[in-house]
Amino acid sequence: MSAKKLIAANWKMNGSRALVEAVVQQLTNLSPEVDVLLCPPATLLPLFPASQHYALGAQNVSEHEQGAYTGELDVTLITETGATYVLVGHSERRQYHGESDQLICLKLQQAVNGGLTPVLCIGETLTERQQENTEQVIAKQLAAVYASHPELLAKSVVAYEPVWAIGTGESATPEQAQAAHAFIRQQLAQYDAAGAAKVRILYGGSVNATNCSALFAQPDINGALVGGASLKPSEFMQICQSAKE
């Protein structure tokens, strides 16, 4: 895997021109030892100046190519904004928009075929964890993509986001997160051993400036997908600085 950790910001349906300017200003002083990905709402992507300090990503992509799909964005429309990444399968898309594993697989294929790097989001709900089904859920979500398309792994990023920790203020302990990440890498090795060894696996779920260092110290945690804290420019910068090798 890359020696650099990847810190990705998911602004969800938040943001403004002022926030864009504030984040850009903070990141001008960022160490080159960490990779940063910013995923704001699609309407804000064109407001970011081209920069060596960060990459841009969309929060969703259509499984279709151009056509009569009102409200959707295909790969070409996304790349024209300057974005090079896209989030795929976020738990909020799965929960609120009914996205199935099969649909997520199609979206990931479209992303890779169009030259985008997908960040595949996976993770279990609180009920699934309480029922000790975490590994079964993760394995199923990974298999839906990589069992039939192992070649996609080398062109992906994987983000483990336990649903019970997203936006709740509750974060998995470093030990819990490491156990899940190690299992993910083990599962991926079944499909592409070389790809599994190199893929960056991010942790997401109430990551903040207080808990990030302990998470980044784990051997299989290669960065973070940051939600609420990414809307606070100074705190997001602290997280990025904590990820330096």
Tell me: is residue 206 an annotated ligand-binding position. Answer: yes
Tell me: is residue 227 an annotated ligand-binding position. Answer: yes
- Please state, in angstroms and rounded to a whole number, the distance separating the CA atoms of residues 207 and 211: 6
- Is 165 within 8 Å of 174 (Cβ atoms)? no
Tell me: is residue 164 an annotated ligand-binding position. Answer: no
Whether 72 is a known active-site residue: answer no
Tell me: is residue 89 an annotated ligand-binding position. Answer: no
Helices 134-146 and 174-189 pack at an angle, to 10 degrees, of: 40
Cα angle 50-54-60, degrees, rounded to a multiple of 5? 95
User: Which candidate in 90, 92, 128, 181 is catalytic?
Assistant: 90
For residue 111, give the amino acid letter: A
Tell me: is residue 12 an annotated ligand-binding position. Answer: yes
Tell me: is residue 208 an annotated ligand-binding position. Answer: no
- Please state, in angstroms and rounded to a whole number, the distance separating the CA atoms of residues 56 and 27: 13
User: Which candidate in 63, 124, 128, 161 is catalytic?
Assistant: 161
Tell me: is residue 4 an annotated ligand-binding position. Answer: no
Whether 90 is a known active-site residue: answer yes
Q: Could you give the residue numbers annotated as active site?
A: 90, 161
Residues making up the annotated binding site for substrate are: 10-12, 167, 206, 227-228
Residues making up the annotated binding site are: 10-12, 167, 206, 227-228
